[in-house]
Amino acid sequence: MRILITGGAGFIGSNLTRHALDAGHDVTIIDDLSTGHEDNVDPFRTRFIHGSITDADAVDEALGEVDTVVHLAALGSVPRSVQNPLASHEANINGTLNLLEVMRRRGVTQLTYSSSSSVYGKNPALPKSEREWVRPLSPYAVTKLASEQYVLAYQESFGFSTTAFRFFNVYGPGQRADHAYAAVIPIFLDALAKGEPLPMHGDGTQSRDFTFVDTVCSVLMQSVEGRASHPEPINLAFGTNISLLALVDVIEEITGIRPEVTHSASRTGDVPHSQAANSALQAAFPSVEPIGLRTGISRTWEWIRTRSE
């Protein structure tokens, strides 16, 4: 199968590229390297296009002779979107719509899309079901909700085969901590490797549903290979809800190091708790076996330590 991965030089994209190539597929990547890194994909034999999904010509070039698209490209991060809502809107909403329109013109109608658990926002329900009401708290969350709905609308209006997954706090090797909008697990492990305190926003009682990147890639590959199409979004997580304070305890168990923690103010737009209901995921992809948190943290810690040596 010939697969286009948008954002393929990013954390999830480069891991998915490895999975796709290992499965014998041909991969094309389009990435403007605004958040991705070309060295993430240098080891792979892929066709790489340095371009933005907001550029119709670049997207048209990328779509040449592909069968299906996995759309991961986005300007991520809730805090980044609070700082610059227009940039998030342009990259995430306009970029997605541009991609869909070029796909429609080229007759490529299979798309797998990465949405976000942030769309639930102010809804306090735990676990969060796909049919629960949504109330985004940040511009980023709004862009992911709008984009997933565009994807589903193209399924209804133009006969696309699409699946929109709502990712929940994906982590693992390849996720960097060396930028202002890094995720919490790489930030914690990078600080620990450097002998520094773990920086924590808020009091640490906020909870997240962490999902290891290889589990995510397994689901995405099943979706692509099965040419899956689903009329509603699907949570891509396995209901593992853990507070950040408890996460610190897990990190201590795995590493044997008791980290110091420093607290700062909570961040605007952050949801207090996140946990997925996953009955729709299990029904659609029953053979996926998630990699547990302790195994995932161990693998990520080894990757962080290797980079810090």
If DSSP codes are grouped into helix, strand and coil, which group holds residue 135? Answer: strand
Tokens 């996953």, residue located: 278
Q: What type of residue sits at position 96? A: T
Q: By 3-state DSSP, what share of the chain in percent is helix, strand and coil, each rounded to 5?
A: 40, 20, 40
Dist CA 144 CA 191 (whole Å):
30
Pick the closest to residue 172 from 3, 1, 19 (CA basis).
19
Beta-ladder partners of 261:
198
Dist CA 188 CA 197 (whole Å):
8
> Which listed residue (120, 140, 154, 171) is catalytic?
140
Residue 202 CB neighbour total at 10 angstroms: 14
Which phi-psi region, left, alpha or beta, contains residue 260 (left: φ > 0; alpha: ψ -120 to 50)? beta
Task: Tell me if residue 113 is catalytic.
Answer: no
239 neighbors 214 (Cβ within 8 angstroms)? no
Tokens 């995932």, residue located: 296
Pick the closest to residue 287 from 238, 198, 207, 222 (CA basis).
222
> What values do phi and psi take at 69, rounded to 5?
-125, 135
Q: What does each C-alpha distance from 31 to 38, 71, 214 come to in angstroms?
A: 9, 11, 21
* Burial annotation 227-243 (CB, 10 A radius, 16+ → b, else e): ebbbeebbbbbbbbbbe
How many residues can be counted in the chain?
309
End-to-end, the C-alpha distance of the chain in Å comes to 38
**Active-site residue numbers?**
140
